[in-house]
Structure 1
Amino acid sequence: MPHAAFVFDAYGTLFDVHAAVRRHAEALGSEGPLLSEIWRAKQLEYSWTRALMGAYRDFWSLTEEALDHAFERVPSADRSLRSQLLEAYWKLDCYAEVPAVLGALKNSGAKIAILSNGSPAMLDSAVKNAALDTIIDDVFSVDALQTFKTAQSVYELVTTQYRLYAEAVSFQSSNRWDIAGATRFGFRTVWINRGGMPDEYPDLKPQLILPDLSALTVT
């Protein structure tokens, strides 16, 4: 069926979460990738924990706290780079195929939106830095609800705003847990499995699995 809206997760799907550390790879040395992996893992863990507790803190605060934890876990990494890494996170690189794919989908007449755990200021900066602000129609942040994915009310932000049934929305994310949540809500889901990871949540399967967004225009 044709989809009235294509909605994308931001971090890891449109924007490369490891780009900040890569920009300072030489200064961080061989432990840089480990630092980045821990930073991302804790950023997500903190969001899930706080959602379950009902103790919301915005995603930027969690991003800062996750980096501090990563430095504790990787003591050889130069902590003086903290402010530079955080600054780089506001201007993450988007994946190479993103502008063309989103542009083609928009030209088809569909709504193009982001639905993200990110704070409004973080998302605004990332979108403008990648020059996607002329393509993306709407940016939905969980900040409006003071909770995080996979709370079903988060996905409902899209259907309420667009007055659409869930099945009219195609939702794309690189995060398998996010795809599970969106599938449970009723979206048509596309898992962008950039890392070639094994599947999970067998009872909440995506409708499609792609290695990147390139083929999305023909699905």
Structure 2
Amino acid sequence: MPITTCVFDAYGTLFDVSAAAREAAAEPGREAFADLWPKVANDWRLKQLQYTWLRAVADAHADFWDVTQNGLDWALEASGLDGDAELRERLLQLYWELSAYPEVPKMLATLKENGMQTAILSNGSPAMLDGAVKSAGLSDVLDDVLSVESVGVFKPHRSVYDLVGKRFGTKPDQVLFVSSNGWDAAAATGYGFQTAWANRANEPVDRLPWVPHNILSNLTTIPDLAQRL
């Protein structure tokens, strides 16, 4: 069936999760952090994801904001920065104002012009996602923002992907699901969605029972892909 709905992961897909650390490192007086920010950003994101998986399998759900703070605390300690409370607060503040990747606004606008329904499906809490969407100016090009908080478990649990059909009345093969996380796109393939992996870092394909249907370097060609499927 033709694609009617394009659904996007948020963090790392539409929003640049490294932006908070990168922007903090460029501020006056943070010369020491300037040398460490890539490691902090990478550790922060990795632990944030790992904690969602562990909480999902342990049935120990928490708000994504708590998980985000937990991941940052680990990352700061790993770089010897756990005593810098001001830096911690600044990084958390900037996380609510993450930049969208450059191609995102035009890509979403083109999807809407083509008659597609558009949405976010994210581990993020509603408040976090609302802040990111408004900060990036994407409110007018998204039909909805769906959060795992409504089912109380993180991706890749199937109940999260169920949210799309419940909201839009779609069958799985009418949905193009897009994520920068290879494991997320793979799990969505297993669910029955058409999928695209935004593999910005040119990483290997995850060794899972499923693989993404399409692998892209960014989101620029998503409107063309959605019309071809």
Question: Do they superpose with TM above 0.5?
Answer: yes
Moved more, 127-136 or 200-209: 200-209
1:203 aligns with 2:209: yes
Partner residue, 1:188: 194
The aligned length equals 219
Task: Give per-residue Cα distances to partners, 1:18-72, cap 9 Å, x unaligned.
Answer: 0000011141121111011111001011110001111110100010111111111
CA RMSD of aligned residues (A): 1.2
Partner residue, 2:117: 111
Matches within 5 A, 1:37-186: 37-76=42-81, 79=84, 80-186=86-192
Partner residue, 2:2: 2
**Is residue 180–residue 201 contact of structure 1 (8 Å, CA) maintained in 2?**
no
Where has structure 1 moved over 6 Å in runs of 4 or more?
none
Q: Shift of the alpha carbon at 1:140? A: 0.4
Structure 1's 139 and 70: CA in aligned 2 closer, same or farther, altered over 3 A?
Answer: same
Give SS of 1:139's match: strand
Moved more, 197-206 or 99-108: 197-206
Give the unaligned 5+ runs of structure 2. Answer: none
Give SS of 2:146's match: strand
Partner residue, 1:18: 18
Give SS of 1:114's match: strand
**Is residue 44–residue 72 contact of structure 2 (8 Å, CA) maintained in 1?**
yes
- Percent identical among aligned pairs is 46
Q: Tell me the amino acid that sits aligned with residue 29 of structure 1.
A: A
Give SS of 2:140's match: coil
Q: Shift of the alpha carbon at 1:4? A: 0.8
Moved more, 159-168 or 89-98: 159-168
Q: Shift of the alpha carbon at 1:78? A: 6.7
**Following the alignment from structure 1 to structure 2, what is the Cα–Cα distance between the partners of residues 212 and 61?**
29
TM-score (norm 1): 0.97
Q: Tell me the amino acid that sits aligned with residue 160 of structure 1.
A: K
Give SS of 1:214's match: coil
Task: Give per-residue Cα distances to partners, 1:132-151, cap 9 Å, x unaligned.
Answer: 00110000000001100000
**Following the alignment from structure 1 to structure 2, what is the Cα–Cα distance between the partners of residues 156 and 111?**
16
**Is residue 183–residue 208 contact of structure 2 (8 Å, CA) maintained in 1?**
no
Q: Shift of the alpha carbon at 1:7? A: 0.2
